[in-house]
Amino acid sequence: MTIDEHIIANEVLREVKELLPSPFLKLELETQTAKGLVKYPNLVNVDDYDVVGWIKHNIQELIDSTVYYKLTIKRIRKDYQVEFKYAGGVHVHAIAILEREIKNNVEKLKTLELLRAHYLEESK
Give the CA angle between residues 109, 110, 114 to the nearest 5°.
Answer: 115
Cβ–Cβ under 8 Å, residues 107 and 65: no
pTM as predicted = 0.88
Q: pLDDT in tens for each of the 124 residues of the chain?
A: 899 999 999 999 999 999 999 999 999 999 999 999 999 888 899 999 999 999 999 999 999 999 999 999 999 999 988 776 656 689 999 999 999 999 999 999 999 999 999 999 998 8
Instruction: Catalogue the long-range contacts made by 8-14 (C-beta closer than 8 Å, 24 or more residues apart).
Output: 10/43, 10/44, 10/45, 12/44, 12/45, 12/46, 13/43, 13/44
